[in-house]
Chain A
Amino acid sequence: MLGIALGIGVLAVLVSALLGPKKASRAKLMAYESGNDPEHGGVGTGQRFPVHFYLVAMLFIVFDIETAFFFPLAVAYQKLVPFAFWEALTFVGLLLVGYYYILKKGVLEWT
């Protein structure tokens, strides 16, 4: 079982490395800094970059944590029926308050 799992993983990487077309471009060769150019105007080069980057990152974390909470809840749901429902509803309700707030504050408006 483990062998098959490992094999598939290794095979996928190998096959794409051997057979895949290789077209290098500037963006592909850049060091990976979450979409920021590390050399020309990125983080730490003393140039301006949009503060939206952080806001989006923080929003991502908030909703990421939400899913991280929901997976264990979904697993245990059957055993905790009335309690888990209200608990999840409270949690989502409080999260919605935050969502409404950022929506009204215009955090989600690009440009």
Chain B
Amino acid sequence: MLTPPDVALAPLLPILLVLAGAVSSTVLGFHLPRRTLTAINLVLLLLSAAAMALLWSGPGELPATAFGGSLRADNAAVLLGLTIVAGSMMALLVSLDTAYRARLSFPEFDAMLMYAVTGTLLIAFSGDLIVMLIGLEVMSLASYVLATLQDSRRAEESGLKYFLLGSVGSAVLIYGLALVYGATGSLSYGGIAAATAGLTPGNLGLLVGGALLLLAGFGFKVALAPFHQWTPDVYSGAPTTVSLFLSTVVKVAAFAGMLRVFGGALQNAPFWASALQLLIAATLIVGNAASLFQTNFKRMLAYSAVAHTGFLAMALLGTPGLGGAALGYYLLVYTLMTGAALAIVAALQRTEAGMNISDLRGLYHRHPGYAVALAACLASLAGLPPFAGFFGKYLAFQAAFQNGYVWLSILAVLASVAALVYYLRPAMLLFMPDRTPAREYPHGQRPATNLTVALGVAAITVLGLLPNLWYGWLADPAIWELLAGR
């Protein structure tokens, strides 16, 4: 019997607003200048954020759903969605100043970015595996185009690598999804979570296989260690504005998917956590070790993004209540500090390859504002106390530690000590005396980039001093224990 699905507009509205931005950029791009399009898109993102904030459900309220629970606008979705919107706005603002110089100033840039954001929001709002997969594919396909959009060999290489490895990741993920469906007979997160309890041994084997394939697929998307090979090449080959988007928004969305699938649907499934801890250990070692040896600053940030994937994924090992809150907090902080650091790179670089670390010497005497902001970002990325990065790392370690992953927590602490070396070396160079001519791109007013950097640095400072401004919203364990719904 066919029954039409229930279409509720409220939980769809944040996604539809972003989609409207994408569609209008596609159509109006022939008639309006790109800056106007970007302004429209920024407004639509703000409206989308407002629509999400209105979806916040207080204690005792049931979250809004649509399509029979396939789309869940619960509090977790709202919090992750707001993080995604923050990262997207940073990318758009920075592109206002740098897209022209990066030969990216087409309406297609805005359109593809907004299509990707549509996909990321679908992942955050997903209530079953199919919606998650559609969101992931929309996001990935648009991201491949973004990485290739600039007309240069580097961007082509970056885009092709991203496309090939991303498609492999998607294929693995879909295989895992099929096995999970075969084992549990359900595609919705709630159905899978309910079915994992009473499985026959044969089906349990299928479920474990599916969960491991899903883990590998997500590993490709978030860049966990054996699957991280594409990350440095793609992030450093793509134009810096695009790298900013890929390393913040796309990663947040992939983690949102992981949180939904592993923290929600598969939270009682066996074995994936043991595999995940090995991947995290490998990621921490590889990411941090490789960052130590980079000479290019943008490439170092790319490897630092890999290292941070390890720290972020540790939160997934915690109990759903604690781990979800830790991940939610860390994702926003990670987005803000990485976004601000890459915004500074985008503003100051001479070419899209970024600058060398040695070029940062004496930046304080040429651009004092940028130098101080960059030092703050680096300190936060390293996890030094006054900044929010410290609290994010602390929460992630705590989540893993309390759930019994002691050796991994010790490894992570050691890794973050090693990370101090490569974060503080450029931070130190910034303030050294230097009389050689400036190595930065000399021209241009950059009001939008300055705004982004200022907001990002202010946010990581404030969130470091008063973490409850954001963590207070996340702290309720009920939000994260109901990721799969009832």
Contacts and interface: CB of A to CB of B under 8 A. Distances in A.
Contacts of A88: none
B5 A100 contact: no
A97 B111 CA distance: 12
Given A76-B2, A94-B23, A83 B30 contact: no
Interface string A90-103: 00001001101100
Nearest to A78: B2
A48 interface: no
Contact of B27 (A83, A84, A100): A100
B60 interface: no
Contacts of A76: 2
A80 interface: yes
Nearest to A80: B4
Contacts of B4: 80, 82-84
Interface in A40-70: none
A104 interface: yes
A84 B7 CA distance: 12
Contact of B23 (A80, A82, A97): A97
B57 interface: no
B26 interface: yes
B2 A97 contact: no
Interface size class of B (residues with CB under 8 A): under 10
A69 to B, nearest CB: 14
A83 B6 CA distance: 9
A79 B23 CA distance: 31
Given A76-B2, A80-B2, A97 B7 contact: no
A45 to B, nearest CB: 23
Interface in B1-30: 2, 4-5, 7, 23, 26-27, 30
Contacts of A84: 4
Nearest to B107: A101
A94 B27 CA distance: 11
Nearest to B2: A79
A104 B2 contact: no
Interface in B383-414: none
B47 to A, nearest CB: 20
Interface string B143-168: 00000000000000000000000000
B107 to A, nearest CB: 10
Contacts of A83: 4-5, 7
Contacts of B7: 83
Nearest to A86: B7
A55 B30 CA distance: 20
B5 A104 contact: no
19 contacts: A76-B2, A79-B2, A80-B2, A80-B4, A82-B4, A83-B4, A83-B5, A83-B7, A84-B4, A94-B23, A97-B23, A97-B26, A97-B27, A98-B26, A100-B26, A100-B27, A101-B26, A101-B27, A104-B30
Interface of B: 2, 4-5, 7, 23, 26-27, 30
Given A82-B4, A94-B23, A100-B26, 5 more contacts: A80-B4, A83-B4, A83-B5, A83-B7, A104-B30
